[in-house]
């Protein structure tokens, strides 16, 4: 079989198309939330109090997930961006190799990773804005993309460690 037919048959599998739609949905949801929070921040010049446990407060993150490794040094930023790109390429590979359920979990990770990678390319930082806190203890500020990445990773870990024990 030639490479064209092989790729066509692999790419246009129903599960791969559904995975692609999940990636698009997450990417668009993430972009819409970030655009709206940036507009809100410009209009309110501060944080938006939602309730006793949640604020919306725009923070520009130059590091990795949840603000880890945030440095102003250019070399760190570019190395982190390169690593993110390589992870995205690997996750795309995993989607094509994964079983039915894992395709969707990897698609969640990919959608979130693409959302944050897009911000790195456009803004040179990722806008995080969900500030969850209890009294004075604040969790890392995060965004919609981070939620999907985390859900995907935790679900894969659970699937591999608990459900695959037979």
Flag whether 145 is in a domain. yes
Flag whether 154 is in a domain. yes
pLDDT at 56 over 80: yes
Are 58 and 37 contacting, i.e. CB atoms less than 8 angstroms apart?
yes
Q: Which of 30, 119, 131, 146 is catalytic?
A: 146
Rounded Cα distance between 85 and 114, Å, is 9
Flag whether 143 is in a domain. yes
Share of the chain above pLDDT 70, in %: 83
Q: Which of 30, 119, 128, 131 is catalytic?
A: 128
Please state at what angle helix 14-44 crosses helix 74-97, rounded to 10 degrees: 150
Give the mean model confidence (pLDDT) for residues 131-153.
Answer: 91
| DSSP 8-state symbol, 57 | E
Would residue 128 show up in a list of annotated catalytic residues for this protein?
A: yes
Give the mean model confidence (pLDDT) for residues 53-62.
Answer: 88
Compute the mean pLDDT over every residue in the chain, rounded to the nearest whole number: 85
139: left (phi over 0), alpha (psi -120 to 50) or beta: beta
Count of structural domains, the chain: 1
- For residue 140, give both structure tokens: 């890392």
Would residue 146 show up in a list of annotated catalytic residues for this protein?
A: yes
Are 162 and 147 contacting, i.e. CB atoms less than 8 angstroms apart?
no
Residue 79 C-beta-side C-alpha neighbours within 13 Å: 8
Residue 136 sits in which domain range? 51-166
pLDDT tens per residue, range 128-137: 999 988 888 8
Flag whether 92 is in a domain. yes
pLDDT at 59 over 50: yes
pLDDT at 5 over 90: no
pLDDT tens per residue, range 76-133: 777 878 888 999 999 999 998 888 899 999 999 999 999 999 999 999 889 999 998 8
Flag whether 40 is in a domain. no
Rounded Cα distance between 115 and 120, Å, is 9
Flag whether 27 is in a domain. no
pLDDT at 30 over 90: yes
Rounded Cα distance between 150 and 113, Å, is 10
């Amino acid at each position: 079989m030639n490479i064209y037919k092989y790729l066509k048959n692999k790419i246009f599998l129903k599960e791969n198309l559904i995975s692609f739609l999940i990636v698009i949905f997450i990417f668009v949801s993430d972009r819409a939330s970030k655009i709206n929070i940036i507009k809100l921040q410009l209009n309110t010049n501060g944080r938006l109090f939602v309730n006793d446990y949640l604020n919306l407060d725009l923070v520009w993150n130059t590091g990795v997930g949840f603000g880890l490794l945030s440095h102003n040094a250019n070399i760190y930023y570019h190395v982190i961006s390169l690593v993110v790109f390589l992870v995205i390429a690997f996750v795309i590979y995993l989607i094509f190799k994964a079983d039915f359920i894992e395709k969707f979990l990897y698609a969640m990770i990919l959608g979130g990773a693409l959302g944050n990678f897009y911000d790195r390319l456009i803004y040179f930082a990722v806008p995080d804005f969900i500030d969850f806190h209890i009294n004075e203890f604040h969790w890392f500020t995060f965004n919609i993309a981070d939620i999907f990445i985390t859900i995907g990773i935790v679900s894969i870990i659970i699937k591999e460690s608990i459900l695959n024990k037979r």
